[in-house]
Chain A
Amino acid sequence: MPDIKITPLGAGQDVGRSCILLSMGGKNIMLDCGMHMGYNDERRFPDFTYIVPEGPITSQIDCVIISHFHLDHCGALPYMSEMIGYTGPIYMTHPTKAIAPILLEDMRKVVVERKGESNFFTSQMIKDCIKKVTAVTLHQSVMVDNELEIKAYYAGHVLGAAMFWIRVGSQSVVYTGDYNMTPDRHLGAAWIDKCRPDLLITESTYATTIRDSKRCRERDFLKKVHECVEKGGKVLIPVFALGRAQELCILLETYWERMNLKYPVYFALGLTEKANNYYKMFITWTNQKIRKTFVQRNMFDFKHIKPFDKTYIENPGAMVVFATPGMLHAGLSLNIFKKWAPYEQNMVIMPGFCVQGTVGHKILNGAKKVEFENRQVVEVKMAVEYMSFSAHADAKGIMQLIQYCEPKNVLLVHGEAQKMEFLKDKIEKEFKINCYMPANGETTIINTPTKVPVDVSLRLLKAEAVRYNALPPDPKRRRVVNGMLCVKDNRLSLLDIDEVCDEIGINRHVIRFTSTVRFDDTGSAVKTAEKLKALLAEKLEGWTITISEANISVESVLIKVEGEDNTKSIYVSWTNQDEDLGSYILGLLQSVVQGS
């Protein structure tokens, strides 16, 4: 089956609810199982009925792979495993397995307890779901079954984020999840080797952005925060509990230390300490610098950043607050936003991407009034700043990754359609490979050339090496083997013809043809032979032609010139298996004779 089929159930020309179905070599793999933050109805989960309208889903899916712990990549997993009833294998990295249940539980609380929804998964379901997960380490090659192999690469996006290489038979696919090609304050850059997959499925959140240098962005961020608090304003930074938050904390902490600032900085979550503990446990997943210095100083022990209490919302004076969740769609960050939005001196900094439908998305698009479910309208007078701190690869990074792993095809997901269009063009022009961008529910079929493994007998190879004087391979010169392909018990092997004869106990019958061409030419036979050699070399470029006195051999076809007078006899001799070459040379010589 040389086709690879990809159907995004989410993240096709869209951000949020990543869920991509991949089938190759008779295996069906689900890449990520996320939920959409912008919806409150059934649209927040991928449409699992696409896979199988009804009945058990387990038999249709060979494994589920989760790239990282963000809810738009793992949010629907408990729903799938506990409510739809998927019981097959689930793979993710150790940090993802540790952190994902915490974020899932956080989200569940917001949805069920604040919004009062029923028909949602329970705490126990999250626990049961995570129990079924197989944790993998980086670069470990995991055999899901006899034919399906997966391997994780470092992706840098958040703690434990991974790209996955998936192989069935001779076909392979790389799925990047979200990744970051530039190291930041606590994570390293994504890395992959030259694995030359048939298909690279990459995110394209920042398909058209080429972000300015990291330092500029950081300086900009610090300047804005500093200016605001100097004027007595309050700064709200909506973040997700793990990931970007830690990087911004490290940034603010060092700035506060250096500038000797006294304005309070709060991190609003009981999770802080726990989150930092996870970073400590999985320090091997952070960047080089933190790993080197962690024995002396733990970067995640913050001096200036204190836990937040709800009563502080009404406190007067300047402050900086990190609050979850990151897209202002629910929870504490939204509560604080409602209170602080109507005042001009305040500021909200959105450090990451916001999904359509969230409050964050609305205010970033310049909404001056935001309406809520209970008809509450909030005027937005505070400054709204967007800083792309979310650790996705930009256009340059995506191109870099393609260069690293040299895929034969590229497929874009997790981005907006127009931006994808632009990047698709760029990829196709620059790398001369096909690029696809299916929408949700649309299937892309990619045809891949297959290769058949063959065992070549060493005797054949050694004879070949001797024939070419064991010269290093030269792409301009052809090196040809003549052998017998044997099929036995579904295994292919290429043997020397005599070897085959020996093996099955029969004798070969060699048929040889010799023809004579008469040629009028003065001079010695050797001279004539040299002339002929020059002619053959011109016509048969790349073939091995040797000459010794009046004998020329073109691979295994022999040419011999005889006679010292003006008429020479040219003998051309070849065995039956060289009929093509032999008759070609004979024809060539005959035409030369007639022409002269």
Chain B
Amino acid sequence: MKLYCLSSDASKPCFVLSFRELLIMLDCGLSAHSVLNFLPLPPVPSTRLASLPNYTPPHVNDPLLEGELKECCGRVFVDSIPEFCPPLDKVVDFSQLDVILISNYTCMMALPFITEDTGFKGQVYATEPTLQIGRFYLEELAEWVSGAGGSGNAGAAKRWKEMLHVLPSPLALAARPRSWRRLFSPASVARALSRVRVVGYDERVDIYGALDATAVSSGFCLGSANWVLRSAREKVAYVSGSSTLTTHPRPINQAALRGADLLILAALTQTPAHNPDHMLGDLCVHATVTLRGGGCVLCPVYPSGVLYDLLECLSAHLDGAGLQHVPMYVVSPVADSSLAYSNILAEWVSVGKQAKVYLPEEPFPHAALARAGRLRHAKHLHDDAFSAEFRQPCVVFCGHPSLRFGAAVHLVELWANNPAHAIIFTEPDFPHTEALAPFQPLSMKAFHCPIDTSLNYSQASKLVRELRPKELALPDQYAPPPAHHQHTAPRAHITTEVPTVVVRRGAARTCGVRRRSARAHLPASLAAAAAARAAPAPTPATTARPSPAATPAPALRLAPLTASLALRDNRLDLLPPPPLPAAGTSTADAETARVHWGALDVESFVLALAREGITEARVEGDIVHLPRHDTLVQIERHATHVFCEGRADVRQALRRALAACLPHV
């Protein structure tokens, strides 16, 4: 068993596990940090962004670099369509992948990069909400970025990638920008998603007969799953994006993960220092204060996930603060679908929300909020209906959290100069100061309330202790820092007693158990016949002569077995061996011994022969000669060779004699 790590971002993981001759990809996260190096793509042309000064590195005169870089408040940005950092494609040939298992919709954004135009022929498995909400995320991204003409490669700035050494930080520190790619087109999103096969929690999916894969609830978001891979003997658990907190999704199923041979841990919290509950409280307070002051609140969010909790909590909080009249807007190309879908996924929500469905009422309150007119949604800011009813002060939820594309870019530009307004960051994927950098100088208030419900390091360490895997695999970010780095600042890490394998991007590590046997099935008839022949195994002490009466029943029983093998769909069956064409001649023989042990004592062999009626044996050293039967028996320490002239009755007599002298089954 081998584990490859293809992603440098542990919260957007991408692993490949080779297990029983299968290549299994675990998640395909897309690292979007790279987009922070680019200028925002405003949905409507912005004069401020257009008039930013060009940047040329000192002492460099390269006409090709002309216009690729712009400067804003001392930071340099690439003026081009943003690019993303997909999983490494050099380590594993994507056309050889057998399956991709997806744990949740935040960890599947690179799917089109893996499955389209790579010769990929395998299966993709995900739960229904993962597929649906993942579709919203991907469509939203593709619409914003590709809508701006960003799926081709024409006109892309690339000269700067050759000049990293002369560029200022943080651009100079960009990780492998040459491997960055532009986003996929909506068409390839649709093609990639059409490959996904939907599974339910606790459904055993047969992977080419070699193993079972089961998605079990991970408690992080709607439809989020941990995967358990099981063959007849081995068990591997992949724990990614899990939460032990109580929010809207089904709680985590820990029992299914227990006792694995290998546990792979990924996508822990990105903000271990922030408690999600406190952050939610802070957010409500900041929002109330801003709204009371007549300002608007902007929350750059993804179109699903924590958004549902935000709507529920904030609306309740505003009610309590006497701000029921403040409208809440969700602006996203997929806002309507996302809000509608969340209310039909009854089988995927927590027990409390599920109970509502039986009444029947919607599990989430946002349908009721929408009916009451407090919550509105729109595809775009410039939708006529939306512009007509837009009132301030208000709360707007829209994307993208990186502030590089989507409706949020326009709203920040619009409200940046008014200190009454506030922007509250809740998504943990991007550092908020960097997200805001191209909008500086900024007068509106900015708050950082990251809500990441994934396991934090102490919860994860506790989970590992409880699950008791035989081995643990971690991305290097989560492992304790190596000994020679101990003088640097200590960082949070997983502490565990379990033998641990650490993987970093591009690395492959051997892990898990070594397979020694395969599971086959034996028909009852064959098993019964074998059982009838079974004899207790000899122990080294009693090899000389078995004395069954004296020894107690041994734990091990043996029976020789000849069977024909049938391999179908990776399932092994032992079938009765085909009979000989003329079976009649030797059937009686099945009863006699087949396999012998120990050394043959010549004297007792001669005695045994005499009992069989062969009395003319002449012993010449290691050779027993039976002249009348034209037979020679050559006896060695671990072998006996009989040269006989083909009389079956003599041979059977010899075999009986040998059996009498040697321990056998």
Contact = CB atoms under 8 A, between A and B. Distances in A.
B588 to A, nearest CB: 11
Interface stretch (B160-168, B172-180, B344-352): B344-352
Interface stretch (A116-124, A223-231, A487-495): A487-495
Contacts of B523: 449, 451-452
B487 interface: no
A497 interface: yes
Interface string B233-271: 100000000000000000000000000000000000000
Max count, chain A CB within 10 A of own CB: residue among B343, B539, B640: B640
A457 B539 CA distance: 21
Contacts of A278: 360
Given A461-B518, A587-B648, A485 B558 contact: yes
A202 to B, nearest CB: 23
Interface stretch (A313-321, A324-332, A395-403, A474-482): A474-482
Given A139-B200, A455-B517, A277 B562 contact: no
Contacts of B595: 484, 497, 508, 576-577
A455 B519 CA distance: 5
Nearest to A514: B643
B524 A452 contact: yes
B163 to A, nearest CB: 48
Interface string A505-549: 111111111111100000000000000000000011110000000
Interface in B330-346: 336-337, 340-341, 343-346
Contacts of A479: 564-565
B555 A489 contact: yes
Contacts of A509: 596-600, 638-640, 662
Interface string A433-466: 0000000000000000111111111110100100
Given A2-B524, A98-B357, A450-B524, A584 B582 contact: yes
B522 A452 contact: yes
A295 B560 contact: no
Given A142-B202, A451-B524, A507-B597, A473 B567 contact: yes
Contacts of A282: 344, 346, 357
Contacts of A141: 202-204, 214
A261 interface: no
Contacts of A137: 200-201, 347
Contact of A480 (B345, B556, B563): B563
A506 B543 contact: yes
Contact of B517 (A277, A283, A451, A457): A457
A453 B519 contact: yes
A430 to B, nearest CB: 24
B527 interface: yes
A511 B636 CA distance: 10
A478 B200 contact: no
Contacts, number: 265
A516 B578 contact: no
A539 B202 CA distance: 53
A483 interface: yes
B589 interface: yes
Contacts of A484: 558-561, 595, 665
Contacts of A455: 232-233, 517-520
Nearest to B204: A141
Interface in B617-665: 637-646, 648, 651, 655, 658, 662, 665
A23 interface: no
Contact of B128 (A284, A457, A488, A506): A284
A580 B589 contact: yes
The CB with the most chain B CB atoms within 10 A, among A458, A480, A485, is that of A485
A347 B531 CA distance: 72
B57 interface: no
Interface residues of B, number: 94
Contact of B558 (A280, A486, A516, A517): A486
A277 B516 CA distance: 55
Contacts of B543: 506-507
Interface residues of A, number: 83
A478 B578 contact: yes
Contact of B521 (A280, A451, A500): A451
Given A456-B518, A484-B558, A511-B658, A539 B596 contact: no
A132 interface: no
Contacts of A512: 639-642
Contacts of B562: 480-483, 577
Given A455-B517, A494-B574, A583-B585, A139 B360 contact: no
B170 interface: no
Given A282-B346, A509-B662, A494 B524 contact: no
B292 interface: no
Contacts of A500: 537, 558
B382 interface: no
A583 B203 contact: no
B231 to A, nearest CB: 11
B437 to A, nearest CB: 37
Contacts of B586: 579-580, 583-584
Contacts of B516: 457-459
A562 to B, nearest CB: 14
B502 interface: no
A298 to B, nearest CB: 10
Interface string B118-131: 00000000001000
Given A284-B344, A295-B336, A485-B558, A478 B522 contact: no
Contacts of B79: none
Given A461-B518, A509-B600, A504 B540 contact: yes
Contacts of B316: none
Interface in A565-596: 576-577, 579-581, 583-584, 586-587, 590
A98 B358 contact: yes
A140 interface: yes
B373 interface: no
Contacts of A481: 562-565, 574
A283 B214 CA distance: 25
A216 interface: no
Contacts of A540: 580-581
Given A484-B561, A486-B558, A516-B646, A510 B639 contact: yes
B621 to A, nearest CB: 18
Contacts of A52: none
A193 to B, nearest CB: 9
B534 interface: yes
A506 B347 contact: no
A330 to B, nearest CB: 25
Contacts of A507: 543, 597-599, 637-638
Given A480-B564, A494-B574, A581 B580 contact: yes
B578 to A, nearest CB: 5
A590 B645 CA distance: 11
A517 B646 CA distance: 8
A478 B578 CA distance: 7
Contacts of B644: 513-515
A577 B560 CA distance: 9
B530 interface: yes
Given A2-B524, A506-B540, A584 B580 contact: yes
A450 B526 CA distance: 11
A98 B360 contact: yes
A542 B564 CA distance: 12
Contacts of B360: 98, 274, 277-278, 280-281
Contacts of B48: none
A576 B657 CA distance: 13
Given A455-B232, A540-B581, 12 more contacts: A151-B203, A170-B521, A277-B360, A453-B519, A454-B519, A473-B565, A488-B556, A494-B574, A507-B598, A513-B643, A542-B578, A580-B589
6 contacts: A449-B523, A453-B521, A481-B565, A517-B646, A539-B581, A540-B580
Closest 5 CB pairs of A and B: A455-B517, A139-B203, A451-B521, A515-B646, A509-B596
